[in-house]
Amino acid sequence: MRRWSSGLVGVVLLLLSLVALTDVTTASRGDRDYTFHNCMKKCKDQQCEGNEYKNQLEHLRKLMWFCDDECKYNCMWQTVVAFQQHQIPVPQFFGKWPFTRLWGIQEPASVLFSLFNLLGHATGLLRLRCNVPKNAPLLSLWYIFGAVCINGWVWSIVFHTRDFPITEIMDYLSAFSMNAFSFFAVFVRLSQKWMCLQVITTGVLILSFCAYHVHYLTFVHFDYGYNMKANIAMGVLNAACWLFWSGLNRKTHQHVWKCAVFVALAVLSLCLEILDFPPFYWAIDAHALWHLVTAPITLIWYSFLIDDCKYLLEENKAKKMI
C-alpha cells in the first residue's frame, strides 16, 4: 500500500505544480507590435467593406472569416516575417501561437487530434455495448460518461476550427463537465449504486459547483486563469480518488491496474500543457500534442470499464447464490 500512497502523493504534487505554473494571458507581444497595428490599419482601410473582405474565398466566408479576422490573420504573418527578418523570436498573438490555417480551419492539428479522442470514446462505448451484458451494474453510468466526453470533444473540434467567444466558452465548460462527471463517477463506483445518501450528496455538491462555475464564466467574468486552475483542482481530486480506490482494491480486483495506468498517463500528459514553444511547421504545438497523447490511452480506460462491469456482474451473481 505504501507504493500506492507515495504514487498518489506524487500525482497530487504534480497537479498542484501545474496550478502554480499555469499563467494564461489574452494579450501578447505580437498583437501589441507596431508592425501588426500598422498592417491592421492599412488592411481595414483597403480591404474591408463592412464585415466583408474583398475577393475572399467562398470556404473562408462560410467559416465566418470576417474582414477583421482576415486582417488579423494576414497581419499576424506579416509581423512574424518581420520578427524573423530581425532574428527576433516569434511572439504569440492574442495569447496564442501563430498557426497556418487549412481550408479555413484555424488549428488543423488540434482539430484532427480532438477527432481521434472523439472516435476513441465512440469506439469505447461500442465496445461496452458489445462486450458487457445489459444487466451489468453501473453500465448506464458509463454510457452517460461516454456521452459527456463525446460532447466535450465535439466542442473541442468546433473551437479549434473557429475561435469565437461562444465556441471558446463551450469548449472550456464541456472540458470541465468531463472532469466533474468522472469525479462524480468515483463515488458511484465506491457505492456501487446510484441512489444512496453518499452519492446523492456528492452529486448535489458537484452539480452546485458546476452551476457556479458556468455562471461565473458566462455572466460574471470569463477568467482564463480561474478556469484552468478550477479544472486542475478538480483533476487533483479526480486522480487522487481513482488512484486511492485502485490501491485499496489492487489485491481483490485484478483489473484495477488499468485504471491506475490510465490515471497516471493522463496526469503525465498534462505536463504538455505547461510547455510553451512555437508550433512545429506552424501546425503542432504542445496543446495539440496533448490531444494526440490522450487519444490512445482512452482505450485503456474503456478496457478497464468493461472488466469492471463484468466483475460487478459476477459479484452480484455470487451474492445471490449465497
Per-residue model confidence as pLDDT tens digits over 73-130: 999 999 999 999 989 898 889 888 899 999 999 999 999 999 999 999 999 999 999 9
The cell numbers describing 199, all together, are: 452519492
Does 39 or 10 have the greater pLDDT score?
A: 39
Kindly calculate the radius of gyration of the chain based on its CA atoms and give it in whole angstroms.
23
The cell numbers describing 310, all together, are: 463484468
Burial label for 181, CB within 10 Å (0-12, 13-18, 19+), is buried
Return d(Cα 288, Cα 283) in angstroms, integer. Answer: 9
In sequence order, what are the residues at sequence separation of 6 or more whose Cβ sits closer than 8 angstroms to the Cβ of residue 229?
Answer: 19, 22
Instruction: Kindly state whether residues 40 and 110 are assigned to the same domain.
Output: no
Instruction: Kindly state whether residues 178 and 228 are assigned to the same domain.
Output: yes
Residue 25, pLDDT score: 44
Domain membership flag for residue 49: yes
Residue 33, pLDDT score: 85
Give, for 49, the enclosing helix (H) or strand (E): strand 48-49
With a pLDDT cut of 90, the percent of the chain lying above it is 53
Instruction: Kindly state whether residues 136 and 252 are assigned to the same domain.
Output: yes
Domain membership flag for residue 94: no
Instruction: Kindly state whether residues 200 and 65 are assigned to the same domain.
Output: no
Q: What separation in angstroms does the CA of 297 have from each of 8, 177, 193, 290, 320?
A: 19, 19, 27, 11, 35
Residue 41, pLDDT score: 92
Residue 166, pLDDT score: 93
Instruction: Kindly state whether residues 68 and 169 are assigned to the same domain.
Output: no
Residue 31, pLDDT score: 82
Query: In terms of residue numbers, what domain contains 42?
Result: 31-85
Does 29 or 79 have the greater pLDDT score?
A: 79
Domain membership flag for residue 80: yes
In sequence order, what are the residues at sequence separation of 6 or more whose Cβ sits closer than 8 angstroms to the Cβ of residue 286?
Answer: 272, 273, 275, 276, 277
Instruction: Kindly state whether residues 110 and 78 are assigned to the same domain.
Output: no
Q: Mean pLDDT across the stretch 144-156?
A: 97
Domain membership flag for residue 92: no
Type of residue numbered 166: I
Instruction: Kindly state whether residues 165 and 261 are assigned to the same domain.
Output: yes
Instruction: Kindly state whether residues 7 and 139 are assigned to the same domain.
Output: yes
Instruction: Kindly state whether residues 17 and 37 are assigned to the same domain.
Output: no
Instruction: Kindly state whether residues 214 and 291 are assigned to the same domain.
Output: yes
Domain membership flag for residue 15: yes
- Average pLDDT in the chain: 87
Residue 119, pLDDT score: 97
Residue 222, pLDDT score: 84
Does 119 or 25 have the greater pLDDT score?
A: 119
Q: Mean pLDDT across the stretch 157-170?
A: 94
Reported as a pLDDT band with limits 50, 70 and 90, residue 253 is confident
Does 61 or 8 have the greater pLDDT score?
A: 61
Instruction: Kindly state whether residues 7 and 44 are assigned to the same domain.
Output: no
Q: Mean pLDDT across the stretch 249-266?
A: 91
Instruction: Kindly state whether residues 111 and 53 are assigned to the same domain.
Output: no
Domain membership flag for residue 217: yes
Q: Mean pLDDT across the stretch 280-292?
A: 92
Q: Mean pLDDT across the stretch 25-37?
A: 75
pTM score: 0.86
* Bridge partners of residue 93, in order along the sequence: 96
The cell numbers describing 141, all together, are: 453510468
- Is 70 exceeded by the pLDDT of residue 6? no
- Is 60 exceeded by the pLDDT of residue 11? no
Domain membership flag for residue 65: yes
Domains: count for the chain: 2
